[in-house]
Structure 1
Amino acid sequence: MIFKGLLGAALMMATSAASAGDARFDWFDYQGNDTIYRFVKPTESQYLNPILSGFHPDPGIVRGGDGAYYLVTSTFGWFPGLPVYRSTDLVSWSLIGHAIDRPGMLDFSGLGLSRGVFAPTISYRDGTYYIANTCVDCRGNFIVTAKDPAGPWSDPVWLPDVGGIDPSLFFDDDGRVWLMNNDAPEGEPRYEGHRAIWLREIDPKTFQPISDAHVIIDGGVRPEEKPIWIEGPHIYKRDGWYYLSAAEGGTARGHSQVILRSRTVAGPYTPYEGNPILTQRDLSENRPFPVTSVGHADYVQDDAGNWWATFLGVRPYDTEDHYNTGRETYLLPVRWTPDGWPIILKRDAKVPYLDERPSLPKAAPPSLPTNGNFSYREEFDGATLDGHWISLREGHENWAKLEAGSLVLTPQMLPLGSGRNPSFVARRQQHMTASASTAVTFEPGINQSAGIAAFQNDAFFYALAVTLDDTGNRIVELRRRTGEAHAPDGTALASAPLKGDADAPVRLKIEADGGRYSFLYAEGPDAPWQVLVKDADGTILSTAVAGGFVGAVFGLYASGP
């Protein structure tokens, strides 16, 4: 695929006509309308959580050399990877680029969708930005650098002597650079989920270790309780203390953030007696509009000297911990205790949807909202595809182009569940109650289909498409895949005949309402919507059912010989 900038290299405006068998999408429309935002409305002095809705996990944040703030999140096996957002007030965020945006930087081929790039951290020092990251199942830990956080970012510098995941950099005042990471503990793990945080000094130019690594957290802040999955470490310095912050408890409902400190960067580190400093695991599951699974926090200091924390959380739509929007990015102020400990949230307090804005000049809203109820419409009339569009793994094949106000996809012999790089571009589902629709012109051949999908991973999705039935007549068909044991293109659930001409657009629509998804179609621009399937089981698109670490997306696809 020819990609540019934020989706690889470029979906350039094409000049030739679409090939026979190509699918032409005239527009893509998204509507988000969550109930909570009808009641929670920020005043001029407030901001709204989450600050980045939809699949934006593991946020890392830094204040840059220009005084602005830059935030990166995980993308796992999606491409381009590691989106970079910019803000001047910590509230209004705009996507400016991706750190992994060129084929060949990393090799995602053959990876499960929840492998790839985990938990990036971003740092700034003396005119250079650094992202430390892990490519799981694809060579391990690495660092990329850039003079401009919008890119281009360097090719990865690999850290072959650093195992585990979640590397993070700390630049000390004396010019020394330290690397933290999660890895197995010394000796044999004592229980499932027993991990440790390791620290070593690295060369500031080559990033390779120049000291032996040693453990600075073994298991967690209360080892006698057998804490699990200590990860996501960061070190900060304040008033002569080195503060070590890390996530603990896994990324489900037991997730939390803990803090320790030391007078020397190498430790030993003493945990805060009041840990955890952020969690929701002690609250009632029946509370209204819950935010759960919070943790993986990173701190930043603003112009006024105030400290803030970004962290991930989820918004389940039932007490069974079903959520389809993935792990999202939240912001809260950090409050320091009189004896010098940074607290994000009291143990019994709920993550608020509203809080007081930072004391920074208010920035203009971003061109595309990142939270609250919003809608947008993509007309495909630009020279390049908008940077919020993502594809599965890397887009090497030449299967997409922008042409005369349409997105044209060439079908490949790769179904949506192939585990490879099918002709599929997608946008995040950012609301529990949402809809996505499009108009597609497509004259399918045998075993060809094109349409719109609600997709969680290769094994769990719905696909609503224009295709042919066994007698060669055009139909609209809904297919579903609910696990790897099923066919990679899913199983047919319902279909209806299409009566119009093949050169006329067919409108397709998906409506999500928590754990229920409905699928509609219409022929012609003004025809009423017809329901093909109503209230299908949407929990198959939740993390609790589909597994992994990603969130659901809505996307446009074409497949077949």
Structure 2
Amino acid sequence: MRLGRWASLLAVGLVLGTSGVGYAGEARFDWFEYRGSDPADPKTVAANAYRNPIIAGFYPDPSVTRVGEDYYLVNSSFGWLPGLPVFHSRDLVNWTQISNAIARPGLMNFGQGGLTGGLFAPAISYHEGLFYIVNTSFYSGGNFVVTAKDPAGPWSDPVWLPDLRDGIDPSLFFDEDGRAWILNNDLPEGDKEAYDGHRAIWIQEFDAKNLKTIGPRTMIVNGGVDISTKPGYVEGPHLYKKDGFYYLTAAEGGTGTSHAQMIWRAPTPTGPYTPGPTNPILTQRDLDPKRPNPIEAAGHADLVETQKGDWWAVFLAVRPYAGGEMFNTGRETFLLPVRWVDGWPRILPPGTAIPRQHLKPDLPAQPPAAIPTAGPFTIRDEFEGPTLPLYWMTPRRLDGAWWRLSEGALVLTPQAVTLSDRASPSLWARRQQHRDASFTTELSFTPDRPGERAGLAVVQNDESWFRYTVERLDGVRTLVVAVRAGENDPKPGRILARQPVPGEGPLRLRVTARGGSYDFAVGTGQDGWKPVLTDADGTILSTAIARGFMGVLVGPYAEAGR
């Protein structure tokens, strides 16, 4: 499988069945441009080096597998669809999204669950001509597996795995004897926690032909490396075999600043498992939290062996613009080499900061990805093809008839669904991938009913968002910036700024993120940019305040009056 093959798939996204002229009340977005950079990024990177993160923005919980000279990676997507983005690379550095594993309407029903639910922590693997992704879906059936002969899709409908019970983070391991095993996190034996966050890692045999679990479940880790320390939320298990041992890695400490990656090994898949002599094998919790430009919360790693026998790890981490969990970009995908020391893997020595650039893997050189995933970049969508690019997402459902691609524009029909309704609003969005970013579009929209509005939505979750829209107030076409800053705020949001708009022609709307501040500006005709609101408090979109596991998404939005 050659990289050139995947380049032709970049535009293969969601196909829309109808097109044509616009209708009254519709919102037309002629293009959308994203531009981003990070002040702490290296200004230049040597030809033999790469930048961390390798996939910036809300791409958490990476899992990776190798097939020959090709590498495939999958991330979580939670309550956004299409879900479970699948990437391809041949050098572990330049990644191209080739599919979404959950990409057809009706496969998932998240109901009215929060956006931070949905699709958690997938794991990708390959065996005898078939790719497998196992995953957990909150609000929609528990644990499941999907398969594909081609990772670019189509992926199968989900096959549910009820025997995994209420656990999360499943992963598959295919042994040399042909047997398959499935691991996951769950409550300890007896379903009783000895302390808050007490979890265990379980293993069970898996029938890969019939896609079902078989035989007894065995608890192989109770609590974590040292249960006397009351480690919290051991999760994200992965199993490997090397030199006759079975190596288990899993994260401890939750996904915040206490996050850490642990290692055990055993003579058989079912144990007994012995912790390694140096744990954790990756963490940033032992560093000064006041250091400048930190990378934090590292963990949830997956290891892969290259065709040359080297080992590398992909893992999540975050880049705060202020202490702790003050970041809006979500959990991102990083890459570091794995060293084997006296029969044990190690990603970073204790007390070592994650480097923002590193020497590339010893793999054949590859050209940069057509759509960048790291470093400063600009991406402009002209909406000229029959599909949306694969990185566009919408909350909860894919079966709405509220949008279409028409004559080089994304056209939205306003629905009486708001950003707070835990439903499926008229919204397509893409990730904020940098601390400093701008989102710009050109909008044609004439509101003529009370409550009808269209523009840009800046969303962290159902309770934390900005709405930057054109609407009619007191008979005047007006630009409005509104915010909802937590569940105690009114669901319709609070108006922060308003500005009358001359005429009824197209508008250029721009949202600019600057760490914890957001600016909103407008351009009309040949005029330059005029501020509508500056220095809005964007910390309300941070993980520290909004909570959850996601990053900010921004995109075209439309809403009808009720």
User: Which TM class, normalised by the smaller chain length?
Assistant: over 0.9
Using the TM superposition, give the Cα deviation of residue 208 of structure 1 relative to its aligned residue in structure 2, in angstroms: 2.3
The answer on whether the counterparts of 1:436 and 1:554 sit within 8 Å (CA) in structure 2 is yes
The answer on whether the counterparts of 1:8 and 1:395 sit within 8 Å (CA) in structure 2 is no
Using the TM superposition, give the Cα deviation of residue 280 of structure 1 relative to its aligned residue in structure 2, in angstroms: 0.1
Q: TM-score, normalised by structure 2?
A: 0.96
**CA deviation string 1:221-268 (max 9, x = no partner):** 011101000000011000001000001110000000000001111100
- Distance in 1 between residues matched to 2:71 and 2:289, nearest whole Å: 34
Using the TM superposition, give the Cα deviation of residue 483 of structure 1 relative to its aligned residue in structure 2, in angstroms: 1.9
| Equivalent residue, structure 2, for 1:437 | 440
Matched, 1:175 2:178: yes
- Distance in 1 between residues matched to 2:529 and 2:27, nearest whole Å: 21
Matched, 1:537 2:531: no
| Equivalent residue, structure 1, for 2:158 | 156
| Equivalent residue, structure 1, for 2:497 | 494
The answer on whether the counterparts of 1:75 and 1:81 sit within 8 Å (CA) in structure 2 is yes
The answer on whether the counterparts of 1:7 and 1:389 sit within 8 Å (CA) in structure 2 is no
Residue in structure 2 matching 1:309, options 306, 313, 316: 313
The answer on whether the counterparts of 2:104 and 2:398 sit within 8 Å (CA) in structure 1 is no
The answer on whether the counterparts of 1:8 and 1:102 sit within 8 Å (CA) in structure 2 is no
Using the TM superposition, give the Cα deviation of residue 12 of structure 1 relative to its aligned residue in structure 2, in angstroms: 4.8
**CA deviation string 1:149-173 (max 9, x = no partner):** 0111111111111121011111111
Matched, 1:121 2:126: no
**CA deviation string 1:261-307 (max 9, x = no partner):** 01111100000121000000010112122110000000111111100
User: Could you say what secondary structure the match of 2:193 adopts?
Assistant: coil
Question: 2:120 is matched by which residue type in structure 1?
Answer: F
Question: 1:218 is matched by which residue type in structure 2?
Answer: N
| Equivalent residue, structure 2, for 1:384 | 387
Using the TM superposition, give the Cα deviation of residue 87 of structure 1 relative to its aligned residue in structure 2, in angstroms: 0.3
The answer on whether the counterparts of 2:106 and 2:399 sit within 8 Å (CA) in structure 1 is no
| Equivalent residue, structure 1, for 2:461 | 457
Using the TM superposition, give the Cα deviation of residue 5 of structure 1 relative to its aligned residue in structure 2, in angstroms: 10
The answer on whether the counterparts of 1:449 and 1:465 sit within 8 Å (CA) in structure 2 is yes
Using the TM superposition, give the Cα deviation of residue 380 of structure 1 relative to its aligned residue in structure 2, in angstroms: 1.2
Identify unmatched segments of 5+ residues in structure 1: none
The answer on whether the counterparts of 1:477 and 1:495 sit within 8 Å (CA) in structure 2 is yes
- Distance in 2 between residues matched to 1:464 and 1:76, nearest whole Å: 24
The answer on whether the counterparts of 2:11 and 2:387 sit within 8 Å (CA) in structure 1 is no
Residue in structure 2 matching 1:367, options 346, 359, 370: 370
- Distance in 2 between residues matched to 1:198 and 1:541, nearest whole Å: 35
- Distance in 1 between residues matched to 2:379 and 2:16, nearest whole Å: 20
Residue in structure 1 matching 2:334, options 314, 330, 336: 330
Using the TM superposition, give the Cα deviation of residue 26 of structure 1 relative to its aligned residue in structure 2, in angstroms: 1.2
**CA deviation string 1:467-515 (max 9, x = no partner):** 011x211001101011233333311111011112x2x111111111110
Q: 1:479 to 1:5 in 2, by over 3 A?
A: same
User: Could you say what secondary structure the match of 1:210 adopts?
Assistant: strand
RMSD of aligned C-alpha atoms?
1.4
| Equivalent residue, structure 1, for 2:100 | 98
Using the TM superposition, give the Cα deviation of residue 210 of structure 1 relative to its aligned residue in structure 2, in angstroms: 2.0
- Distance in 1 between residues matched to 2:160 and 2:319, nearest whole Å: 35
Using the TM superposition, give the Cα deviation of residue 347 of structure 1 relative to its aligned residue in structure 2, in angstroms: 1.0
Using the TM superposition, give the Cα deviation of residue 40 of structure 1 relative to its aligned residue in structure 2, in angstroms: 4.3
- Distance in 1 between residues matched to 2:292 and 2:11, nearest whole Å: 37
User: Could you say what secondary structure the match of 1:349 adopts?
Assistant: coil
Using the TM superposition, give the Cα deviation of residue 7 of structure 1 relative to its aligned residue in structure 2, in angstroms: 8.7
- Distance in 1 between residues matched to 2:220 and 2:499, nearest whole Å: 62
- Distance in 2 between residues matched to 1:68 and 1:313, nearest whole Å: 24
The answer on whether the counterparts of 2:109 and 2:139 sit within 8 Å (CA) in structure 1 is no
**CA deviation string 1:165-219 (max 9, x = no partner):** 0111111111111111100001321000000001111222223222111110000
Matched, 1:11 2:12: no
Question: 2:169 is matched by which residue type in structure 1?
Answer: D
Q: 1:489 to 1:5 in 2, by over 3 A?
A: farther
Moved over 3 A (4+): 4-9
User: Could you say what secondary structure the match of 1:36 adopts?
Assistant: coil
Matches within 5 A, 1:46-85: 46-64=49-67, 66-85=68-87
| Equivalent residue, structure 1, for 2:234 | 230
User: Could you say what secondary structure the match of 1:213 adopts?
Assistant: strand
Using the TM superposition, give the Cα deviation of residue 84 of structure 1 relative to its aligned residue in structure 2, in angstroms: 0.3
Q: 1:9 to 1:374 in 2, by over 3 A?
A: closer
| Equivalent residue, structure 2, for 1:42 | 45
The answer on whether the counterparts of 1:428 and 1:552 sit within 8 Å (CA) in structure 2 is yes
- Distance in 1 between residues matched to 2:510 and 2:300, nearest whole Å: 35
- Distance in 2 between residues matched to 1:196 and 1:104, nearest whole Å: 32
**CA deviation string 1:447-483 (max 9, x = no partner):** 10000121111110111111011x2110011010112
Matched, 1:87 2:89: yes
The answer on whether the counterparts of 1:70 and 1:86 sit within 8 Å (CA) in structure 2 is yes
- Distance in 2 between residues matched to 1:6 and 1:189, nearest whole Å: 48
Question: 2:253 is matched by which residue type in structure 1?
Answer: G
Question: 1:146 is matched by which residue type in structure 2?
Answer: A
- Distance in 1 between residues matched to 2:546 and 2:185, nearest whole Å: 25
- Distance in 2 between residues matched to 1:232 and 1:419, nearest whole Å: 28
Using the TM superposition, give the Cα deviation of residue 110 of structure 1 relative to its aligned residue in structure 2, in angstroms: 1.5
Identify unmatched segments of 5+ residues in structure 2: 1-8
Question: 1:105 is matched by which residue type in structure 2?
Answer: L
Using the TM superposition, give the Cα deviation of residue 320 of structure 1 relative to its aligned residue in structure 2, in angstroms: 4.0
The answer on whether the counterparts of 1:8 and 1:79 sit within 8 Å (CA) in structure 2 is no
- Distance in 1 between residues matched to 2:69 and 2:113, nearest whole Å: 38
Residue in structure 2 matching 1:422, options 425, 446, 453: 425
- Distance in 2 between residues matched to 1:269 and 1:109, nearest whole Å: 39
| Equivalent residue, structure 2, for 1:506 | 507
| Equivalent residue, structure 2, for 1:520 | 521
Residue in structure 2 matching 1:141, options 140, 143, 156: 143
Question: 1:519 is matched by which residue type in structure 2?
Answer: F
The answer on whether the counterparts of 2:429 and 2:555 sit within 8 Å (CA) in structure 1 is yes
- Distance in 2 between residues matched to 1:46 and 1:478, nearest whole Å: 42
- Distance in 2 between residues matched to 1:426 and 1:355, nearest whole Å: 31
The answer on whether the counterparts of 1:463 and 1:480 sit within 8 Å (CA) in structure 2 is yes
User: Could you say what secondary structure the match of 2:107 adopts?
Assistant: coil
User: Could you say what secondary structure the match of 2:228 adopts?
Assistant: helix
| Equivalent residue, structure 1, for 2:169 | 166
Q: How many equivalent pairs are there?
A: 550
Using the TM superposition, give the Cα deviation of residue 375 of structure 1 relative to its aligned residue in structure 2, in angstroms: 0.7
Q: 1:7 to 1:552 in 2, by over 3 A?
A: farther
Between 1:105-114 and 1:371-380, the stretch displaced more is 105-114
**CA deviation string 1:67-86 (max 9, x = no partner):** 21000000001000000000
Using the TM superposition, give the Cα deviation of residue 8 of structure 1 relative to its aligned residue in structure 2, in angstroms: 7.1
The answer on whether the counterparts of 2:14 and 2:390 sit within 8 Å (CA) in structure 1 is no
The answer on whether the counterparts of 1:12 and 1:384 sit within 8 Å (CA) in structure 2 is no
- Distance in 2 between residues matched to 1:414 and 1:489, nearest whole Å: 10
User: Could you say what secondary structure the match of 1:540 adopts?
Assistant: helix
User: Could you say what secondary structure the match of 1:274 adopts?
Assistant: coil
Question: 2:328 is matched by which residue type in structure 1?
Answer: N
